[in-house]
Structure 1
């Protein structure tokens, strides 16, 4: 049974490779896991946590279409939900998502096409490929904890430099409560073994709010907000003071 490492009580971050990140994971197993993560995002309302910033970004550029990029988008379910809400609100938003996994990108494209969501998906590996230019809002959900500290700082710095309006990062908080929430939640949602094991590893590798604040400052985002969100989440929100 996977338990928190002895003697740490999750006081320190312990990052370990997650199964779903393995390049040789069969596509069928990855897709099964992405479906499980979609269920998690639905229950924890991940899209709803990003929606206020999308609205705020749209208000900052009235009369002009908003361009949104979701980095490490996985199966694209957060973007698809945001796309539906934007259409209902009559917002002019162009959505795109990128992920390091070609299988995840193919699955996201197929799912979006089936639902009629006009979203572009493409392969991009953070740290290897530069983030593209031209997006107003750059976001990511449950990705930051996959990176070591130096790579997380580099990602925040590059994403903020590329975002015309704002950067919004949603991730897990590391704590004993969030650890047990992940253990119980993945079982109650009947998720597969990868989701159950990776869910616990994710919390062990996650950052605290203080650590997230330190990452943002190290990336040069001195005025970034670290906003707590239920359940056991936080947002790193950085808004460009003056749009170019």
Structure 2
């Protein structure tokens, strides 16, 4: 398996929290298109459907961690509206430039708030929400960091957690490498796209990390194209 047998911890350009400007804007737009074309959005909405069916209530508060340009919040808001489910969203990201981009893109939604916050700050756990979602976020961290992160998630979420992230696989790596070289104008996307796959997960990775985090009631499911869905039932 070689380079695909273990997770890479090489940093992506996107990990620079000071990253900003036209390159950031172009990159976020391209990532939105890639995520939509490869079917990644349904991984999160499918998880929401599971948690909400299990926990019926009048409305839900949902925190999207590592919200980026707000793409997944838009997807979830559209899904909630279509299904007549009242939801309030909080977009959380450590990059203030990304948050400003998201605020502008989602200014037509009146049930969304944003916070510039580092998930490893002590204050992160203080404001509870019903559901935590994170899409293409967890692969940015080492296994050791994820143990701390998931522990914080357990304290912050009342009902459950939905993780949508990449399957580390040879075909996924070479496919996204070819796709970004052909169609991307963003140096960040060309670099980070293939690298993010190398930083992704096998099913065994998730099983181990979840178990070591003290998470017991969870399910892991594979989705096309090369996505893992992890749904943690807390309530």
TM-score bracket for this pair, using the shorter chain length: over 0.9
Equivalent residues, number: 234
Please report how far the alpha carbon of residue 9 of structure 1 lies from its aligned counterpart in structure 2 after TM superposition: 3.5
Query: Which residue number in structure 1 is paired with residue 87 of structure 2?
Result: 93
Cα deviation 1:23-57 (Å, max 9, x = unaligned): 34233221221111111121123221111222233
- What is the aligned counterpart of 1:20 among 4, 14, 17? 14
Question: Partners of 2:221 and 2:126 in 1: how far apart?
Answer: 26
- What is the aligned counterpart of 1:42 among 32, 36, 40? 36
What TM-score results when the alignment is normalised by the length of structure 2?
0.92
- Where relative contact order (Cα < 8 A, 6+ residues apart) is larger, the structure is 2
Deviates more, 1:128-137 or 1:210-219: 128-137
Cα deviation 1:198-226 (Å, max 9, x = unaligned): 11111111221101110000100123212
Question: Partners of 1:61 and 1:23 in 2: how far apart?
Answer: 36
- What is the aligned counterpart of 1:202 among 196, 200, 216? 196
Query: Which residue number in structure 2 is paired with residue 161 of structure 1?
Result: 155
Cα deviation 1:155-181 (Å, max 9, x = unaligned): 112102221111111111112111112
- What is the aligned counterpart of 1:172 among 166, 191, 194? 166
Cα distance 1:176–1:67, how it changes in 2: closer, same or farther (>3 A)? same
Query: Which residue number in structure 2 is paired with residue 122 of structure 1?
Result: 115
- Whether the 8 Å contact between 2:61 and 2:88 is mirrored in structure 1 is yes
Please report how far the alpha carbon of residue 187 of structure 1 lies from its aligned counterpart in structure 2 after TM superposition: 3.3
Question: Partners of 1:74 and 1:101 in 2: how far apart?
Answer: 8
Please report how far the alpha carbon of residue 88 of structure 1 lies from its aligned counterpart in structure 2 after TM superposition: 2.0
Cα distance 1:20–1:93, how it changes in 2: closer, same or farther (>3 A)? same
- Whether the 8 Å contact between 1:80 and 1:117 is mirrored in structure 2 is no
- Whether the 8 Å contact between 1:41 and 1:78 is mirrored in structure 2 is no
What secondary structure is seen at the aligned counterpart in 2 of 1:237?
A: strand
- Whether the 8 Å contact between 2:87 and 2:111 is mirrored in structure 1 is no
Please report how far the alpha carbon of residue 117 of structure 1 lies from its aligned counterpart in structure 2 after TM superposition: 5.7
RMSD between aligned alpha carbons?
Answer: 1.8
- Whether the 8 Å contact between 1:84 and 1:117 is mirrored in structure 2 is no
Question: Partners of 2:87 and 2:25 in 1: how far apart?
Answer: 27
* 1:30 paired to 2:24: yes
- Which runs of structure 1 show a deviation greater than 6 angstroms over 4 or more consecutive aligned residues? none
